[in-house]
Amino acid sequence: MAWLPRLFEGPEICARISETGAAATGLAVGTPVAAGAGDQGAGAVGMGIVGPGSVSATIGTSGVVFASTDRPAMDPLGRLHTFCHAAPGLWHVMGVTNGAGLSLRWFRDTFAPGADYDQLTAEAAKAPPGSDGLLWAPYLFGERTPHLDPQARAAFVGITASHTRAHCVRAVMEGVAFSLRDTFSLFSDLKIPVARIRLGGGGARSPLWQQIQADVYGHSVELLAADEGGAFGAALLAGVAIGAWPSVEAACAASVHVARQIEPKHAAAMDQAYQSFRRLYPALREIGRT
């Protein structure tokens, strides 16, 4: 332990700007520095995920489902990641999909170069929920949750002559949401409560992906007024460090506001498609390893 630096809570002052630091940054000498957090912890603070029952689903390059807990909820099979939260006295558990927004970017770059995401998602909105049976397994870089398999491979399954590019794009978006639902299934197994789900990342800016997530999770989802994510959370931690709020929970209560709530519209169709999705990985694994 003597080799390691001192540990600090996220909203704790750990240093002050030195003369060298001031010269490099333009900040005043003596400016307090809060310990802060890693990207997911800070992002969760910025979304108000600081109490049991609050969960975020974030689609960036990867996808993360993140739950705040008041205990270290450990998955004995290691499919979820458990850490101390950025807020003192709390823990968090999360599942990760490696190829979330990356799946859509890969599809665009490979099959629709020059198209923008708004154009592709507008097309996808014309395809029906469930993409007429077309499924996407988003394992472009192997997978973390729940499979822990670096050899997992991506695939479109169920292609017919009637499928169009719109179906393919929608299937990609649905497949990513299905893979995130896998984490919610593990949360249920571990008795981790899910009272509210807040959306973040680039995927939260797409109205279609917002609705797909509500439908796939079978749960209302919330969009926030501020979407700065980790930067916003780091600012709140710094505010607590200098006494602007008495706690991280108080900072979130004062600063994180829900702008809109989206209700599921096609939960039954998406649940049926999800049951088919869950059969993809075992089949692909058998094909890939024979």
Query: Tell me, what's the pLDDT at 209?
Result: 98
Is residue 104 domain-resident? yes
Separation CA 53–CA 75 (nearest Å): 18
Query: Tell me, what's the pLDDT at 115?
Result: 94
User: Over the Cα atoms of the chain, what is R_g?
Assistant: 21
Active-site residue, selected from the candidate residues 39, 132, 227, 271: 39
pLDDT at 175 over 70: yes
Q: How far is CA 155 from the centre of its chain?
A: 22
Query: Tell me, what's the pLDDT at 242?
Result: 97
Whether 271 is a known active-site residue: answer no
Query: Tell me, what's the pLDDT at 290?
Result: 60
- How confident is the model over 3-28, as a mean pLDDT? 96
Which amino acid makes up residue 214?
A
The CATH number for 180's domain is: 3.30.420.40
Tens digit of each residue's pLDDT (9 = 90 or more) over 84-131: 999 999 999 999 999 999 999 999 999 999 999 999 999 999 999 999
Is residue 15 domain-resident? no
Question: Per-residue confidence at 214, pLDDT binned at 50, 70, 90?
Answer: very high
How would you class 287 by CB atoms within 10 Å of its CB: exposed for 0-12, middle for 13-18, buried for 19 or more? exposed
Separation CA 123–CA 184 (nearest Å): 28
* Residue that wins the pLDDT comparison between 5 and 177: 177
pLDDT at 246 over 70: yes
Is residue 70 domain-resident? yes
Tens digit of each residue's pLDDT (9 = 90 or more) over 55-87: 999 999 999 999 999 999 999 999 999 999 999
Is residue 5 domain-resident? no
Angle (nearest 5°) at CA 223 between 171 and 267: 40
Separation CA 32–CA 242 (nearest Å): 8
Is residue 238 domain-resident? no
Residue the block writes with tokens 């499919």: 79
Is residue 76 domain-resident? yes
Angle (nearest 5°) at CA 220 between 217 and 225: 120
Query: Tell me, what's the pLDDT at 24?
Result: 97
Is residue 131 domain-resident? yes
Tens digit of each residue's pLDDT (9 = 90 or more) over 249-276: 999 999 999 999 999 999 999 999 999 9
Is residue 83 domain-resident? yes
- How confident is the model over 186-209, as a mean pLDDT? 95
**Structural domain of residue 157, as residue ranges?**
48-228+257-288
pTM assigned to the model:
0.94
Q: What's the half-sphere exposure (Cβ side, CA atoms, 13 Å) at 266?
A: 17
For the chain, what percent of residues have pLDDT higher than 70? 100
Tens digit of each residue's pLDDT (9 = 90 or more) over 215-233: 999 999 999 998 888 999 9
Tens digit of each residue's pLDDT (9 = 90 or more) over 151-174: 999 999 999 999 999 999 999 999
Domain count, the chain: 1
- Strands 194-200, 221-224: parallel, antiparallel or unpaired by DSSP? parallel
